[in-house]
Amino acid sequence: MTDLTRLTAVETREAITSGQASAVEVAQAHLDRIAAVDDRVHAFLHVDADGALAQAKRVDAGEITGPLAGVPLALKDVMTMEGIPTTCGSRILEGWRPPYDATVTARLKAAGVVILGKTNMDEFAMGSSTEHSAYGPTRNPWDLDRIPGGSGGGSSAALASYQAPLAIGTDTGGSIRQPASVTGTVGVKPTYGGVSRYGLVAFSSSLDQAGPCARTVLDAALLHEVIAGHDPRDSTSIDAPVPPVVDAARLRDVTGLRIGVVKELQGDGYEAGVTARFEEAVETLRGLGATVSEVSCPHFDYALPAYYLIAPSEASSNLARFDAVRYGLRVGDDGVASLEEVMAKTRAVGFGAEVKRRIILGTYALSSGYYDAYYGQAQKVRTLITRDFQAAWSQVDVLVAPTCPTVAFPLGAKLEDPLAMYKQDICSIPANLYGGPAASFPAGLSDGLPVGLQVMAPTLREDLLYQVGGALEAALPAQAPTLSWES
């Protein structure tokens, strides 16, 4: 009998519609898979077996139809889901059960997608390895001694270990693309405002963006189509049609497409194997009929420091809402204590070291006498990076670079060196500062570990991402982890 957990989302839907398997059988197979392997991977923080099976029964009863009806999905624990614990990987939200669904969650339910549960993540999406979760690290299914990327390592690990064929991630500085790169999966950051942020617990409001994660390009495109589109509850939501991403993913043709290799996102600091796979992927696209040229984006060199001023500044404002009064953890009110004392004790216990570090950085950058010198200057750099992108679009249709300068590194290797950890996002951050769409697609292996090709496009041209990704996927041999640790 077919192993239902090894099917793509498209194949899963076909199995359900053809009667080869019911949606309940598909859901149960994935729940059994989670029970069998997640004690070693730790992709999930909460599994909603009852809710998943109830949704699957609705699909089997014909109440919900659609391209992804009955297909299981892993939801990053930064998206709210009514009645289901939402922690953002932090102790400060321990026990909180939201009274409402995020727009993304609601759209998934309306499409008949079966949400299996909530996935592990770096606390409040602050990290590049999923080692900053208050609930322990997630492990990379390719090698359990290595990181699965961050902050959405739980979602990417769930895909790579066949615990779910689809997942939702969020991307503030690379948190969808970087995990996709190091786990050999597909991850897409849509245009800022292309997917609603309503119900996405904010880290950096001008950068955060939810997006689809999958094992194939077409699966990601189908999921993208479900979650994207205008939402009046999100003031930054774009009121424009969703780009034709599914048609683009099926096209598998890049003839005549102009591809620009970013000069500044290569060279020193990039592992030799990553560079080799990147160059091979570019040559593959050239062989498929694309034209390739080098493009200089000089201000990309300043993206990393600009990001680590802007994002922590916004985080220091957003995280002020966790005050030990309205929801979540509350410490120190068992005796006579002032609100300030309770708040201080709760935050001391509830926030992890990386979150505290970024709050301090952000508060400093916004403080009197430093605002113009730090935050203000960083915003000017952001404008210059946007101009670099705009200048590039007069020369090429898409830009490409490695998604990440290295393959997955060992757990603990960079925990004591925050700057080394931050540099993992050096390739992915520019697209967030610009606001345009970007994606990571599998591009081969280096020493047995996955490498990702990053593709960046103009705003609301996600179709170009899927066009390139689909063509590359069809041209390169399929890759999958051996999962030798299962035996």
Burial 203-223 (b: 16+ CB within 10 A, else e): bbebbbbbbbbbbbbbbbbbb
243 within 8 A of 462, measured Cβ to Cβ: yes
265 within 8 A of 232, measured Cβ to Cβ: no
d(CA 54, CA 49): 9
**327 token code pair:** 């929801």
Question: In Å, what is the CA distance from 389 to each residue of 105, 123, 173, 259, 303?
Answer: 32, 31, 16, 13, 12
Q: Is the pLDDT of residue 2 over 90?
A: no
292-321 confidence digits (pLDDT tens): 999 999 999 999 999 999 999 999 999 999
d(CA 387, CA 423): 23
* 258-262: strand order across its sheet: 44-47, 114-119, 72-76, 166-170, 210-214, 186-189, 438-446, 449-456, 398-402, 258-262, 291-295
Name the catalytic one among 90, 151, 155, 156: 151
What is the residue type of 396?
V
Predicted local confidence at residue 455, as pLDDT = 98
Predicted local confidence at residue 240, as pLDDT = 97
Helix, strand, or coil here: 10?
Answer: helix
Q: Is the pLDDT of residue 153 over 70?
A: yes
235 as an active site residue: the answer is: no
Q: Taking every pair of C-alpha atoms in the chain, what is the biggest distance, in angstroms?
A: 73
**234 token code pair:** 């999100």
What is the residue type of 289?
G
Predicted local confidence at residue 333, as pLDDT = 74
Q: Is the pLDDT of residue 245 over 70?
A: yes
314-372 confidence digits (pLDDT tens): 999 999 999 888 888 988 877 767 888 888 899 999 999 999 999 999 999 999 888 88
Q: Is the pLDDT of residue 443 over 80?
A: yes
d(CA 458, CA 178): 20
The pTM of the full predicted model, rounded to 2 decimals, is 0.98
Q: Tell which residue, 372, 308, 26, 38, has the closest CA to residue 174.
A: 308
151 as an active site residue: the answer is: yes
Tell whether domain 4-257+400-486 is in CATH 3.90.1300.10: yes
Domain locations along the chain: 4-257+400-486
**Using 50, 70 and 90 to split pLDDT, how confident is the model at 40?**
very high
Name the catalytic one among 133, 155, 175, 446: 175
Mean pLDDT score, 33-38: 98
**54 token code pair:** 């109830």
- The fraction of the chain above a pLDDT of 90, given in percent, is 93
d(CA 251, CA 288): 13
Q: Is the pLDDT of residue 487 over 80?
A: no
Predicted local confidence at residue 401, as pLDDT = 98
Mean pLDDT score, 169-188: 98
420 within 8 A of 426, measured Cβ to Cβ: no
226-244 confidence digits (pLDDT tens): 999 999 999 999 999 999 9
Provide the 8-state DSSP code for 425: G
Mean pLDDT score, 456-468: 98
368 as an active site residue: the answer is: no
Name the catalytic one among 76, 118, 189, 414: 76
CA 118 to chain centre: 13
Cα dihedral 206/208/210/215 (nearest 10): 130
